[in-house]
Amino acid sequence: MENKIQKQDVGMTSKQIEIVKTTWAMVAPLAEQVGPLFYNRLFEIAPETKSLFQRTSIPEQSNKLLAMLNCVISKLDKLETLLDEINALALRHVQYGVKADHYEKVGAALLWTLEQGLQSAWTEETKQAWITCYVLLSGTMLQAANRKLVA
């Protein structure tokens, strides 16, 4: 079953999953500020990505991003149930023109946004849990995107 993410393959400890869920619960209620903060930071560090969002307003895109994050984070302890959705998301990103190097910049913008929102709750342990989470998810998406590009 090459497309299945098994719990032991996830790469996140139970503690990291709990940290991500707990800290996301602190940030999620700030959705109206978080989305624009994230996109402003992304466009600051990766101005070439701005053209990828011409079809959708930033408030609408922010809502989509936060809904996706809510869904994924709520199922971090059973990611195998999300594999099809994560793969489909990756394929949509290929169609939108997202490149492999964009993932690193999105990750940097996400971590920066979380740090701003969490303030004193942003510890080294929290940062490492979010890095592990993002690397897992973006790695899964990149694998799906690469399969699409090779096919």
- List pLDDT tens digits, range 132-145: 999 999 998 888 88
Determine contact, residues 130/114, Cβ cutoff 8 Å. Answer: yes
Q: Where are the domains of the chain?
A: 11-150
Measured CA to CA, the distance from residue 67 to residue 123 in angstroms comes to: 25
**What is the residue type of 12?**
M
Superfamily for 11-150? Globins (1.10.490.10)
Q: In this predicted structure, which of 64-73, 83-92, 133-142 has the lowest mean pLDDT?
A: 83-92
pTM of the model: 0.86
pLDDT at 9: 45
Span 10-66, pLDDT tens digits: 479 999 999 999 999 999 999 889 999 999 999 999 999 998 888 888 899 999 999
Q: How confident is the model at residue 130 (pLDDT cuts 50, 70, 90)?
A: very high
